[in-house]
Amino acid sequence: MNPPANARAGTTTRWRDVPTRTLSAAGVEFAYRELGPTTGVPLILLRHLAAVLDNWDPLVVDGLAAERRVIAFDNRGVGASSGSTPKSIEEMARDAVAFIRALELDEVDLFGFSMGGMVAQVIAAEHPALVRKLIVAGTGPAGGEGIDKVTRISYLDVARGLLTGQDPKQFLFFTRTPNGRRAGKEFIARLKERADDRDRAISVTSFRAQLKAIHRWGKQSPADLSVIAQPVLLVNGESDRMVPTKNTIDMHRRLPNSELVIYPDAGHGGLFQFHDDFVTAVLAFLSADDDTHGVLA
């Protein structure tokens, strides 16, 4: 089933108000939201561990949608999308490609955060004609150092959140410095802005399946990143305890056409802590010539 014409046309509605739509592809009913201009290469958002549509930062999405057509979706078995959650990053990538094809898109840019950045790498490597540019934040390559420890860290910080009455993302995404604590509280408050038509929280079964997929990714043999010829913008905080920052720096060395942004006094969620700088960097990267290569500070 193709999306209705008004869905393909895009919308200028703010992220907290944009309606949730559904699209059938590969036997799955995908839940998705879209906003921004109707022209240009669409930017597909690929979400992180345990995330549903309501976990995207409104300031980041609205900032990107000021200039780009932005489309975010729940992968199979997550949130309001049907089916069972895959237990490998490669399967998640296949589902994402099926969703993109069902939207009748021939070329896209990808923005993947954390687990979504892993999915983006697979898509770019296996479907080079489909992907123009990539933004990957808080992520690492297959076999990257410390990625196989995400399960342990996640469970520990979920327990920490329960014991302290705080959202686990306060610990998982942000540093414990005054700046990190403040940024975490502000980010978590923004995630509650949407009052109506909120997405379903991820199930425990889906959460465990995603953890298994990430663990497998961390245990894989290192991939040949030289096959990803597209321009890549790599982003992280300097103190990422979920996917250690050294993985982002390693990817910058191994990718043939990459730019690197490392935010000071920031963790896994550095892009949310420095949301204005992040949006500015992404929009500049997407509008620049494809042969751009360098390091951003």
Closest CA to 43 of 147, 131, 127, 146: 131
* Beta partners for residue 112, in sequence order: 46, 136
What's the rounded Cα separation, in Å, for the pair 110 and 44? 5
User: How many Cβ atoms from other residues are within 10 Å of residue 83's Cβ?
Assistant: 16
Q: By three-state DSSP, how is residue 95 classified? A: helix
Radius of gyration, alpha carbons of the chain: 17
pLDDT in tens, 103-121: 999 999 999 999 999 999 9
Nearest to 279 by CA among 120, 111, 35: 111
CA distance 208 to 283: 34
| Per-residue confidence (pLDDT) for residue 13, from 0 to 100 | 79
**Count of domains for the chain:** 1
Ranges in the chain, pLDDT < 70: 1-12, 290-297
- What is the model's pLDDT at position 296? 42
pLDDT in tens, 219-264: 999 999 999 999 999 999 999 999 999 999 999 999 999 999 999 9
Give the residue numbers spanning the domain of 128.
Answer: 5-295
Residues 132, 224: Cα–Cα separation, whole Å: 19
The whole-model pTM stands at 0.92
Return the ∠ at Cα 205 (arms to 202 and 207), rounded to 5°. Answer: 50
How many other CB atoms are there within 10 angstroms of residue 192's CB atom? Answer: 12
**Residue found under tokens 């479907």:** 127
Query: Rounded to whole angstroms, how far apart are CA atoms 129 and 132?
Result: 7
The tokens 């420890």 sit on which residue?
Answer: 149
Domain at 288, CATH number: 3.40.50.1820
pLDDT for the residue 12: 55
